[in-house]
Structure 1
Amino acid sequence: MGELSPDLFACWNHQCSDPAQQDLAADGLSDIILSGVARKKGNRMSHRLVVVSNRVGPVNESARAGGLAVALVEALRSSGGLWFGWSGEISEAGIGEPKIEEHGPLSVATIDLSEEDNEEYYKGFANRTLWPLFHYRIDLTTYDRHNYRGYLRVNSNFAKAIFPLLSDDDLIWVHDYHLLSFGAELRRMGCTQPMGFFLHIPFPAPEVFTTLPNHEVIIRAMCAYDIIGFQTEGDRRCFVNYIVNELGGTELDDERVLAFGRTFVAAAIPIGIDTQNFEKFATSREATLHLNRMKNVLGDRLQVIGVDRLDYTKGLPQR
């Protein structure tokens, strides 16, 4: 686990006027996210990990969800902390007081969405606009100003719901394209805790991203985070090129970027998998039974196996 001096956090306030201290803060958050959550040892500072994602996945051992949920739950199981997000439920009241459940050292806080929120924020702007656009499918991208406003509204409501649950020494880790403007909303409410963001999908080239109306508003909001993580160096490069060429920002050394008066880190931090559990399952009795069953069904035929979901970005017809 990463351990840093408490002095490093003296200038987490995003309005800090000293660029050198801003740079130190961004670098410190990068170290923490890359190496783990700083834990208490002696007189060192301890940080609670607060994970924010669109959906909260299952946290019990037997339940397995998608890649994002699996990655997050493993980190939270080992460190403890708070996981906040949508319950997956639609209610007439919409976003209200979070429902909190305790799972050992992990607290899970969930909120419901209204039907309007679900249509505009989730089905609309997130999945009909951002998802195809970020996957270079401009031909499938739709833009609706009502959906855009709904996206901003739900991001703001997420921030309002979690803000009372935060502590001064929390480390906030936000995930994916559903919550691009969430950090800026928290900052507007006075949040000064370190915030990192990780994008689990590609970031498009500037020529593609600028086809999005209000693209500068989205990027300005993203710059409220102290570190922005990408899956690949190519994705990071596209983001930085947009900042420099479209907004007049500055690329500094050590993956730091200066834009809108803030210095933050833009880094390629590819997500991994739990190789030990995969290896363990591959040699388990259950896996052997599945393998023998498949061999009996296939006979001498060849079979190509993929783990892709049925989505137009996966190129399944072309394969």
Structure 2
Amino acid sequence: MTGRLVVVSNRVPSDGPPSGGLVVALHDCLHENGGVWYGTSGQINDAPSDGFSDVAGDGYDMRTFDLTQAEHDGYYLGYANSVLWPLCHRRADLMALSTGDFETYIAVNRRLAKMMARELRPDDQVWIHDYHFLPLAACLRELGVTATIGFFHHIPFPAVHDLLALPQHHIFPQWIASFDLVGLQTQRDVAAALEMYRSLVGAEQLRDGSLQYRGRNFEIRSFPIGIDVDAFAKEAGRRDGRALLNLATDERLVIGVDRLDYSKGLDNRLSAFGQYLEAREDGDPRASLLQIAPPTREAVTAYQNIRSEMERISGKVNGLHSDLDWTPIRYIHRGIPRDTLAALYRAADVGFVTPFADGMNLVAKEYVAAQSHEDPGVLILSQFAGAAEQMTSALIVNPYDIGEMAAALRTALSMPLAERRERHEALFKVVQRDDIGHWTDSYLAAMARIAHKPLVAEAV
């Protein structure tokens, strides 16, 4: 790779050694090749400087900038997480369109672009991550930046009919076209993006598969993200997850791990588990659901609502089905260390992954990686998770159909060992083939291949 690798994400890894598959992968790339990682500091400063602060990196530079309280409220909580997040997760009805949030979102992107433009070099390869910075390439192009700029969208790409609910839908396509390479999780996401351009006058798909729009050539491709399979599998074997939970010898375990978000289908998941318990017959195994749902964006009303619903359903199910020595739903509303999660995945007979919409969902891949090859558990996976495009040997379910999910639980908990092994072997091959290293290498190889064409983007 010629030039520096320049990574941009909402936050940089500032709390000790990098952890988590994505962060570790980007850290390893920067450590090997050198470069710069830009992101917000996580600090609120009502008089931020017009420049970056340096954070110690390991073989590369980390450059951070502070947000004001108004910027945090408008850019992050407002437009990014109360407009773009629900839009991309097929919940345009939950978009909170507040006066001034868009202007703040654009202003933060322009401020970052202005600071970056002073430091970027023409041969840099800039890799921007996620919906916080959708307009950043357009802002950089306005300032004359000619470096190759890639983007990876970690969440689902919005559907065309949902985009019409976005007041800025007329400039959204130009934001995307200002990148040279747009990476999406699935072929389904690529199809949604291509449909958007097919609906626009002047957009054209060229013979080589690239797109042309308003004078810019760019590519949209699928790069399904993965995990560090070997490291996670090794971590899963270090501790006894059943002992951590003090499970009875004959007690079966179903596990769900998700941020507390309305896109994750958590309310229907708990209801489906309750329905499974209601239909349980004599001889059916006694199963517990461990649902770990750390809080996120608690200041946003929609997240407060899903928390209340989770507490209501878990209380109802436990009230109906608990026994003196058994509580069927263990609901944990806080984060659990990654090494502990790995052991809990290994202990679980069923991985219950049922989002209404998800870019990929790495919990599904972590669950498979953590399983014992000799006695593996069963993955139940939503058809709307990006992972379902690859992980076809899971039990695929419709997360809106509570009865279907309850039936899948019964099937999973009674599945013969031979079938469990066969399904797990197929799933493990997929997870191992498309691991985090493959994702990083394939994206950067595509970036290196693309010849940048300096064109001026429309003003945002």
Q: TM-score, normalised by structure 1?
A: 0.79
Partner of 2:272: none
Partner of 2:211: 257
CA contact (8 A) 2:202 2:214 kept: no
CA contact (8 A) 1:95 1:157 kept: no
Aligned-partner Cα distance in 1 for 2:98–2:219 = 31
Is 1:64 aligned to 2:19, yes or no? yes
CA contact (8 A) 1:51 1:83 kept: yes
Aligned-partner Cα distance in 1 for 2:124–2:242 = 45
Aligned-partner Cα distance in 2 for 1:298–1:312 = 32
Partner of 1:73: 27
Partner of 1:307: 257
Partner of 2:92: 138
1:138 Cα deviation from its structure 2 partner: 1.5
Gaps in structure 1 of 5+ consecutive residues:
1-37, 39-45
**1:40-69 Cα shifts (integer Å, max 9, x gaps):** xxxxxx3210001111124743x525x643
1:289 Cα deviation from its structure 2 partner: 4.0
Change (3 A) 1:298 1:176: farther
Partner of 1:147: 101
Is 1:288 aligned to 2:243, yes or no? no
Aligned-partner Cα distance in 2 for 1:192–1:75 = 22
One-letter amino acid of the counterpart of residue 244, structure 1 = R
Partner of 2:159: 205
CA contact (8 A) 2:86 2:95 kept: yes
Partner of 1:176: 130
Change (3 A) 1:298 1:94: farther
Is 1:55 aligned to 2:11, yes or no? yes
Partner of 1:317: 267
One-letter amino acid of the counterpart of residue 59, structure 2 = P
State the aligned residue count: 269
1:315 Cα deviation from its structure 2 partner: 0.3
1:273 Cα deviation from its structure 2 partner: 1.0
Partner of 2:330: none
Partner of 2:69: 115
Matched residue SS, 1:228: strand
1:94 Cα deviation from its structure 2 partner: 3.2
Aligned-partner Cα distance in 2 for 1:117–1:247 = 35
Matched residue SS, 1:162: helix
The correspondence of residues 266-285 of structure 1 with structure 2, limited to 5 A, is 266-283=220-237
1:179 Cα deviation from its structure 2 partner: 0.3
CA contact (8 A) 2:185 2:224 kept: yes
CA contact (8 A) 2:12 2:37 kept: yes
One-letter amino acid of the counterpart of residue 54, structure 1 = N
CA contact (8 A) 1:308 1:314 kept: yes
1:108 Cα deviation from its structure 2 partner: 0.4
Matched residue SS, 2:207: coil
One-letter amino acid of the counterpart of residue 56, structure 1 = V
CA contact (8 A) 1:183 1:225 kept: yes
**1:84-142 Cα shifts (integer Å, max 9, x gaps):** 01011100113531011332311100000001111111000000000001000112112
1:255 Cα deviation from its structure 2 partner: 3.0
One-letter amino acid of the counterpart of residue 116, structure 2 = I
Change (3 A) 1:139 1:71: farther
1:72 Cα deviation from its structure 2 partner: 2.5
Aligned-partner Cα distance in 2 for 1:93–1:134 = 33
Change (3 A) 1:75 1:306: farther
Aligned-partner Cα distance in 2 for 1:59–1:271 = 23
Specify which of 118, 142, 148 is matched with residue 194 of structure 1: 148
Matched residue SS, 2:50: coil
Change (3 A) 1:247 1:312: farther
Is 1:82 aligned to 2:36, yes or no? yes
Partner of 1:16: none
**1:8-35 Cα shifts (integer Å, max 9, x gaps):** xxxxxxxxxxxxxxxxxxxxxxxxxxxx
Gaps in structure 2 of 5+ consecutive residues:
270-460
Change (3 A) 1:171 1:154: same
**1:180-201 Cα shifts (integer Å, max 9, x gaps):** 0001111111100100001000
Partner of 2:370: none
Specify which of 158, 166, 169 is matched with residue 215 of structure 1: 169
Aligned-partner Cα distance in 1 for 2:251–2:73 = 44
One-letter amino acid of the counterpart of residue 64, structure 1 = S
Change (3 A) 1:113 1:148: same
1:210 Cα deviation from its structure 2 partner: 1.5
Matched residue SS, 2:224: coil
Aligned-partner Cα distance in 2 for 1:251–1:145 = 36
Change (3 A) 1:269 1:107: same
CA contact (8 A) 1:206 1:238 kept: yes
CA contact (8 A) 1:58 1:69 kept: no
Aligned-partner Cα distance in 1 for 2:186–2:144 = 32
Higher alpha-carbon Rg = 2
Change (3 A) 1:141 1:303: same
